[in-house]
Copies of this chain bind each other. A is one copy, B any other.
Amino acid sequence: MSIGFEIITRDGAARAGRLATAHGTIATPCFMPIGTAGTVKAMTPDGVAASGARLILGNTYHLMLRPGAERVAALGGLHKFMNWPHAVLTDSGGFQVMSLAALRTISEDGVAFRSHIDGSRHVLTPERSIEIQRLLGSDITMSFDECTPFPAERSAVEASMELSMRWAERSRRTFIERDGHGIFGIVQGGAHADLRERSARRLVKIGFDGYAIGGLAIGEGQATTFAMTEATVPFLPADRPRYLMGVGKPGDLVGGVKRGVDMFDCVLPTRSGRTAQAFTRDGTLNLRNARHADDPAPLDPECRCPACTGFSRAYLHHLVKAGEILAAMLLTAHNLTYYADLMAAMREAIMAGRLAEFETPQ
């Protein structure tokens, strides 16, 4: 069978479950750290696992350009290449390619674009995207889709969604079934509930191992993200995993879980770790701020991460001011731990039937 998904408990719309892949079982709801170029930035794989993550996201666009999918395959696949024994989900490349703007041309066949690295020409089609993800050895493959820009006219959103649905069908057809590996479809439709419904129904008809809600968290605001999640979830199979792409801030994750989402990814914890931002129970701290210079307290006295168990805010402030790599290493480790522990706490709340009382982080 492809990937397994078992729902252990429900609490309102929320679910606590287990996602079984060829590279281990992941407790859901879960957050996936981003491993753009075959590394979660500023982290060793051991450090990522220590944070609690068991499923990371790899970027097809970045990896196809450098080091190249065929090269990664020849070296034994992405897991071996980056020494990550746990599960990997790869995006389809669609989102990154769309963001190239002037550098790409979309047709029914796919997207022709120029590399941001060296200007070389490339083409991504549904068939090639799925092939690349297979070469990388991804546990969870994402359908190739067009991420509709926001804002856009309804007619453009509709046409884009319809194109993505045709690409989803080609993606599904190209995907080769393997034990412990699966493919997700991606719901599009912008901020239009009826288009979201139509998209979801189309994908369910094609049939996927899981369903993602895409094209959100790109500037439309949390209220719209939540509204579109609510407009989509009822049309997705209850027994399959749901993934809200590119989300988000701690409060977004709580809102997503409460609306029945099982999986999330976002650059926020890792990118913030490289720009002196730390997530804590009491809100976000900017370690560049001079008020931390003499503070002997850790970021969070109850946090189990290497930054909190070994170092003071004063030291982290010093590292940030001095431009030291260790600042990025420690703050990224902290943020990933914060995210993993937030997901684990939500899971516990679901198991206890108390998610409604779960406090939304600042």
Contact = CB atoms under 8 A, between A and B. Distances in A.
Interface string A211-243: 000000000000000000000000000000000
A37 B321 CA distance: 10
Contact of A312 (B81, B306, B311, B324): B81
Given A71-B294, A329-B329, 5 more contacts: A38-B322, A39-B324, A44-B326, A75-B314, A75-B315
A82 interface: yes
A38 B315 contact: yes
Interface string A293-320: 1101000000000100011101101110
B293 A83 contact: no
Most buried by B among A314, A322, A324: A322
A293 B67 contact: yes
A75 B326 CA distance: 19
A41 B325 contact: yes
Interface in A335-358: none
A67 B329 contact: no
B42 A75 contact: no
Contacts of A324: 37, 39, 41
Contact of A306 (B44, B310, B322): B44
Interface string A163-174: 000000000000
Nearest to A68: B293
Size bracket, chain A contacts? 35 or more
Contacts of A41: 324-326
B293 A329 contact: no
Given A71-B294, A83-B311, A293-B71, A66 B328 contact: no
A294 B75 CA distance: 7
B325 A76 contact: no
A74 interface: yes
A326 B66 contact: no
A13 interface: no
A39 B326 contact: yes
A26 interface: no
A204 interface: no
A45 interface: yes
